[in-house]
Structure 1
Amino acid sequence: MTPQAADFPTLADFGHDPWWLIVIKAVAVFGFLVANPLVAILLERKIMARMQSRIGPNRVGPRGLLQSLADGVKLALKEGIIPSGVDKIIYLLAPIIAVVPAVMAFAVIPFGPMVSVFGHQTPLQLTDLPVGVLYVLAVTSIGVYGIVLAGWSSGSTYPLLGGLRSTAQVISYEIAMGLTFAAVFLDASTMSTSGIVAAQQDHWYVLLLLPSFVIYAISMVGETNRAPFDLPEAEGELVGGFHTEYSSLKFAMFMLAEYINMVTVSALATTMFLGGWQAPWPLSVFDWANSGWWPILWFTAKVWVFMFVFIWLRTSLPRLRYDQFMNLGWKVLIPISLTWVMVVALIRAATEGSDDLTRALISAGAGIVVTALIGYAIWRSMRLPEEPDDVEQPGKPFDAMAGGFPVPPLPSQRIDGPKISPPQRSKEKTDA
């Protein structure tokens, strides 16, 4: 049984809580955001060890359960080094700018329905806005300034390159992410997070808007700089990227911002596509599953499904080359997202007088077709060329720009071009 209409909060239910209840909610949300990274750091190391057939953390505490606490104490006690060439004010502000927006974005995420707290009826959500999802996009995009300013203020080449990469990465993938939200707005007829959850009372949008979910799932990995899209902090070529010159608690704040952003985008995916706090089937047939405090459990479980996928991707996939990564965003995800928004709008207009089941079946069918198109486009953009390159064919000259970017030749390869003879010594030097 789905929850009754009275259980879903509306915009009119917000703004009436006493100050002490607002403080309790804010502290609870902050505690949720701090506790999840502590658990995620431990589970990430444990799960990666299990997938790679090795032993993970097992020394600190029973079965290594206190490893996250030990890591935090270690970072706090390390010496905080500030290089001499940095812009000190911006250098110190950058980690704060990265963390604060990540925390603020959770203000409009719904955890559950209306509940009673000390006699006050209140939604399990700090607040909501008529444009709540746009607020999340705006706030999370501010966090990239922390990365950019960290790279610029460090006064070093590698952090600067990491900051520039992050700028291009976030701009590219936020466009695709915003277009996926446009399809949800069209179907739900609202941009408030609580309204979008209520619109999924009969069917989750992961079923009706499958292409939007797939594109968002790819974009949120690029948005959080996680593997295989962790190019701003690529240790293979940039040492540590934007946080190379950071240590101690300042470095810890960047790591905290990364994990909080992972929780935020996972919670937003849960809200937009997986019914938010609503219980999955078959638990949804019971009245108690979607009332009271139980929905917090379903919400947290859905968030952790996405967190597990983050860890799984890091364990399984190698880092993409930067041109592959940008081609995926600009040439695959953004065009298909724009096309899918137009398809959703046409379906809404064509089925205006039809019943909900007919509209849902048409949307689901079109979604499967477009999702198959996404998979084919990704395969085409990532596959190796069928014909061998000129480099691999013996007897042919080597073209350093054949792949679109310069590659140095191997010792056995030759480059055709004007031959420059070595400089001749002058006669005066020879006679001397």
Structure 2
Amino acid sequence: MSLFSFNLFILPDQPVLLYDYKRVFFCALIVISCLLLTLSHSTRKDAINKVSSLSSLTKLLVFPFFLISLTSNIFGLYPTRGFIDFFYYTGIFLLIITLTKNKHNKVNYELFSLISILCYLSVFMGFTVTNLYGDGSSIWTILSYFNPRMLNQVQVWLIIPCIYIALVSKSKKSYIPIIANFTIMYALEARGLFVAVVGGIAIWCLLNSKYRLEILKVTFSCLIIGYLIKLVTLSPIPSFIFNGEFSESILGIRSSDSGRVALWRHALEMVTFWGNGGDAFVCNSTLNSRPHNSILLVMVNWGVIPAFLYIGLIIHLFLKVIKTKRTKSQMLGVTLLSGIAYSLISGVLDSPFSLLLGCVFLSLYWEKLPKKRKSKKKGNENNLIYHLIIIVIAILSISSISLKLTERITNNHYLADEYIPEIYKPQFWLGNNCLDNTKNN
């Protein structure tokens, strides 16, 4: 993932590959995790124990969510696409379970810091090259990501963990990734990211009296330094030096809603009680390929009941976070809440790398939950059934994801001239997400 965050091989003039390769990478991880669960008895046993350790309320919300979503997909507008869509998401669930076995915590947090710095370099390189050889920098002149919001969607998972690293390490070097993230946030005018992250930090401060002052000190000092570095290294001073232009306002605050309100109204018009099935929004929306709101996406595709179950999971997470006393669990919890909050105005849970990081942090949070005592009653009978269920779901997930990958790759990502749209709209792939649909009338 770090390599994709500073990508000098696939440049912005190849937007389809820039986006699609990230999805291919994410899908490959899902397939690998499903293969492990299919072939390894011990991995399946760990997965069963992990699911069993969930609270009764969590299971009461998660399992009906998947069952009702399956019904919506089978009887939706596009049954075949809906079936494939469903097992893509069950594959993600299995990936999260598999990731809970990752014990390399130190390496994880070092990689989060590295990704933050590489993301800054992608912005710095893009801004610098366009200032030197182009028409001047803008929020769109970045490397490694199709658009600036997709980079911001990755950042929402990184900032609070980087602050946590600074708290526990007591090292001034650990401030660098935080400053890098805030510098990018200013340069790309990421209002939604700012609100989501600051909201998460505020909740963390309210919950943690021990580190409250240190959290505020680190945050405010990095916010100030990040803004100054943005002025000097990204915008507007470099643009003035190289192009003689100083048109950007010092604050650079946008006041428009970017068409979100109209998009949300459009999504609400598509809502039905039982849902329209997987890919219903992307294949029928006239405004955008995603509603930029995770609740509305669930509601349009899978119906009202899964949407309420999803909201119930968010509320349950919030209540668990405010009750926990451990600093690391609080940090992981507010990181998840920040990501979910940002998903209410963006495609955080739809874009490949931001979704992957969301899976990583959910697995880390899940691993930190208190363990339930194992029950030995009917262990052998139940375990055999659970093993079979996991194998079947894993095989169906592998088959569904492999089908999507094969179709895209064998058609060369639909790069031929006849497939080039007026505007590329990202969803599962960048453009051409709904070719050869058979509608269920």
TM-score range, shorter chain: under 0.3
TM-score, normalised with respect to structure 1: 0.23
TM-score, normalised with respect to structure 2: 0.23
Greater per-residue helix proportion: 2
Between the two structures, name the one with larger relative contact order (CA 8 Å, sep ≥ 6). 2
